[in-house]
Structure 1
Amino acid sequence: MLRRLVPLCLVAGLGSGLTGVLGADPAGAAPFKLDGPPKVAMVLFGPKNDGGWGQAFEEGRVRTEKALGIQIPVVDNIKESSSAIRPAVELFIKRGYNVIIGTAFGYSDTFKELAQKYPKVAFLNGSGTTNGANLESFYGRTYEPHYLCGMAAGAVSKEGKLGFVAANPFGVVNWTVNAYELGAKQTKPQATTTVVFTGAWNDPVKERAAAEALVGQGIDVIGQHVDTPTPQIVAQEKGIHGTGHHRDMSEFAPKATLCSLVWFWDRYLIPTIQKIGAGTWEPSPYGAFLSIKDGGPDIACCGPAVPKAVADQIQTERQAIIDGKKVYAGPLTDRDGKERVPAGGVLSDADLWKMDWFVPGVISQK
């Protein structure tokens, strides 16, 4: 997910960065200065071995440790309530940690309060919505990898009947579903994507039920924007294919998984921590919204079922995105025929975050 978007219906966006929509406090006029060298700690929303969101952060933490030659202690299963977040963070601060990394949308308000209470501590929050002179939220343009994975799905699908298991119909989820369909049409023009919302970010039982229902409708490739590998496991059990989210899901379904969105959080954390230590960090008043080019989410592609010519096409498109191609470029209409992006235009970040519509070819089901 974009973590954790439950209240995001208010702004239609979280993984789950929404700061440009919500309107953050402006960052300080001068770069933030630490007292002493950076001493970093991480607070995880869920378990660090969940196979998805939490584990992606854990793996990024380990790579960041190695790259910077530091130790980054972590505490996991810290839920989205001030009564859980505050004591965990303040214990780290009491022990001398001056850079705190959070990992949940639901941490946003508490991190804002803590940043104001501890102005000499730097706060970073994955999928948060609040920013300040010593606080920056960060997330990724997940629609870019899902567009590329959609290309793989369309190419492998026999009839172009794709399915998608998603958590909640928020902006950050809707943009992945739409991008998936747009990508699929590049390799299978008649492709459709049927999406089922489970109402939960991490619920293997609901994810299995949704995936099996899609298979029962004749779907032969299943995409996902939920936290566990369950949709990929179901795909492999049923002898069809799928595309993953958060990590390379071929770990769990090597025969089924064609492509996965993969988080590389260290690509953001390493240079940011270096800037904090050097006294050159200036938190963006709108948060960090990371593309593939910026070190945000990327792809693990492609599985053996993807023809080489298609895999090469996907890599060409990936490079085009790095070079400036926009997934949501006009002309673009929604499935009801309403113009959403005029010819020559590009969907704004504000409109991305509040996306509450679907492109032609998306079939939404509860």
Structure 2
Amino acid sequence: MIFSACLALAGFFGLISTVNAEGLTLEGPPKIAMLYISPTNDGGWTQAFDEARQRLEKDLGIKIQYVESVPESASAIRPAVERFIKRGANIIIGTAFGYSDTFKALSEEYPNVAFLNGSGTTNGPNLLSFYGRTYESQYLCGMAAAAASKTGKLGFVAANPFGQVNWTINAYAMGAHEINPDATVTVVYTGAWNDPTKERSATKALIDQGADVIGQHVDTPTPQLVAQENGVYGTGHHRDFREFAPKATVCSSVWVWDRFLKTELEKIIAGNWVPNPNGALLSMQEGGTDIACCGPNISEEEEAKIMAARDKLLKGELQIYAGPLYDQDGNLRAAEGEVIPDPELWQMDWFVDGVITQQ
């Protein structure tokens, strides 16, 4: 899964906010609180959010409260949020898909509070869910994986066959094909976002089948650790996993939440905040993800290709899911000049050529 602050404005007093026809306007100084689904030192999803919080505190000059290890149940979420609100918090940021329904209910009960939720699915007049187009950064990591591979056999450890996981797998393969058109990506789903034991078994199985680079969309750095232990390469997810496996990790898809949250929080503080009713699905250009690249076994020429593609993504000049695009069964998924719309991306249950799935 799983992934804050604003300039303190002089002249604002009190802790009450109001909602008017133009949107939500805070009538007190911004007081921000965050709920984390796991510990801040989880190495992945939550740690990326916490590092964003720290950067935002420094950049924007506001202390941000937080609580960690809040499970995805209303009985845990609700009291945590209400404690923050009683302390004066008027901006609440969540970090979990499973917070969605409870955040929706709380936003209706507390219309004077701004709610944001990373990886959420619910939205409202004072609630914005947001996520990143991870397929963009994973496309670049796929390029790096193919560049590092000697065999063209890539492995990928994934959590669940959800749309947002499948879109990373497809993009990974598409990026790999930019470097090696014959590359394959064999995928093993673990059925869990954070299960180092299953991740270790899946990674070892892929290596035993001949994969010499391991990609991932799971929360821990275990696949990178196993790759390094076995003398192969890998690409990380959530954060720069060279921290854990510097000899193996050639690229990581990393969250840069502060790039988005800084802008959105400034909008909230400015007043008349009207969140996008459909939520925010962030491109690299908008501050969703980026990459940490490049690690060992990537030539200067190949790194230049990767960084050139990154530059196009940051400028909004490259669309990953643009036609003509076919799935592995030959079905046309996007015609020439078309881009797959977001609702279809969320429901992605098909794969491009070169992807081999294993349960």
1:204 equivalent to 2:196? Answer yes
Q: CA deviation at 1:100?
A: 0.4
Superposed displacement of residue 29, structure 1: 5.0
Distance 2:43 2:145 in 1: 22
Distance 1:280 1:322 in 2: 29
Hey, what's the Cα distance between the residues in 2 that align with 1:362 and 1:274? 42
Partner in structure 1 of residue 358 of structure 2: 365
Out of 102, 120, 126, the residue aligned to residue 118 of structure 2 is 126
Quote the Cα distance in structure 2 between the aligned partners of 1:280 and 1:244. Answer: 39
Q: Deviations over 1:177-233 (max 9, x none)?
A: 000000000001100000000000000000000000000001000000000000000
SS at match of 1:286: coil
Q: What amino acid does structure 2 have at the position aligned with 1:331? A: P
How many residue pairs get matched?
Answer: 343
Structure 1 counterpart of 2:345, which letter? L
1:281 CA drift (Å): 2.2
Letter in 1 for 2:85: I
Structure 1 window deviating more from structure 2 (344-353 vs 166-175): it is 344-353
* Matches of 2:190 and 2:27, distance apart in 1: 46
Distance, in Å, in 1 between the alignment partners of 2:20 and 2:155 is 45
Pairwise CA RMSD: 1.2
Change (3 A) 1:82 1:181: same
Residue 348 of structure 1 pairs with residue 341 of structure 2: yes
Pick one of 147, 161, 178 that aligns with 1:155. 147
Of 92, 96, 111 in structure 1, the residue corresponding to residue 88 of structure 2 is: 96
- The alignment-based identity, stated in percent, is 64
Q: 1:253 aligns with which of 231, 245, 250?
A: 245
Contact 1:28 1:133 in 2 (8 A): no
1:327 maps onto 2:320 in alignment: yes
How far apart in 2 are the matches of 1:142 and 1:80? 22
Residue 219 of structure 1 corresponds to which residue in structure 2? 211
* Counterpart position of 2:23: 31
Pairwise CA distance, 1:322: 2.5
Aligned letter for 1:243? T
1:70-104 CA distance string (max 9 Å, x none): 11111010000000000000000001011000000
1:240 corresponds to 2:242: no
Alignment partner, residue 175 of structure 1: 167
The residue that corresponds to 1:193 in the other structure is: 185
Q: Please, which of 47, 56, 66 is the counterpart of residue 64 of structure 1?
A: 56
- 1:248-287 equivalences in 2 (<5 Å): 248-287=240-279
For residue 35 of structure 1, report the CA deviation from its aligned partner.
2.4
Query: By how many angstroms is 1:161 displaced?
Result: 0.1
User: Which residue identity does 1:345 align to in structure 2?
Assistant: E
Equivalent residue number for residue 304 of structure 2: 312
Matches within 5 A, 1:101-120: 101-120=93-112
Which residue does 1:8 correspond to in 2? none
Once residues 158 and 280 of structure 1 are traced to their aligned partners in structure 2, the CA distance between those partners, rounded to angstroms, is: 55
Which structure has more relative contact order (CA 8 Å, sep 6+)? It is: 1
- Structure 1 residue 107, shift from structure 2 partner: 0.3
In structure 2, the residue matched to 1:15 is: none
Provide runs of 4+ in structure 1 moved above 6 Å. Answer: none
Aligned letter for 1:124?
Answer: L
TM-superposition CA deviations, 1:117-149 (whole Å, max 9, x none): 001110010000111111100100000000000
Give distance in 1, aligned partners of 2:151 and 2:180.
8
* Amino acid in the other structure paired with 2:97: F
Does the residue aligned with 1:155 lie in a helix, a strand or coil?
helix
Q: 1:338 aligns with which of 309, 318, 331?
A: 331
Q: For 2:227, give the aligned amino acid.
A: A
State the alpha-carbon separation in 2 of the partners of residues 304 and 280 from structure 1: 49
What does residue 136 of structure 2 align with?
144
- Alpha-carbon distance in 1 for matches of 2:189, 2:238: 17
Residues 2 and 95, structure 2, Cα contact 8 Å, conserved in 1: no
Once the 2 structures are TM-superposed, how far is the Cα of residue 321 of structure 1 from its aligned partner? 1.9
The equivalent residue for 2:7 is none
- For the residues of structure 2 that align with 1:2 and 1:45, how far apart are their CA atoms? 8
> Given that residues 28 and 132 in structure 1 are in contact (C-alpha distance below 8 angstroms), is that contact kept between their aligned partners in structure 2?
no
AA at the equivalent of 1:128: G
Q: CA deviation at 1:2?
A: 4.4
Report if aligned partners of 1:220, 1:240 keep a CA contact under 8 Å in 2. Answer: yes
Q: How does 1:35-50 map to 2 (within 5 A)?
A: 35-50=27-42
Alignment match of 1:297 (pick from 265, 289, 295): 289
Are the structure 2 counterparts of residues 305 and 280 from structure 1 closer, same or farther at C-alpha, using a change threshold of 3 Å?
A: farther
SS at match of 1:101: strand
SS of alignment partner, residue 216 of structure 2: strand
Query: Equivalents in 2 of 1:132, 1:315: separation in Å?
Result: 38
User: Within 1, Cα distance between the matches of 2:29 and 2:267?
Assistant: 11
CA contact 1:56–1:246 (8 Å) conserved in 2 = yes
Consecutive unaligned residues of structure 2, counting only runs of 5 or more, are: 4-18
Letter in 1 for 2:65: P
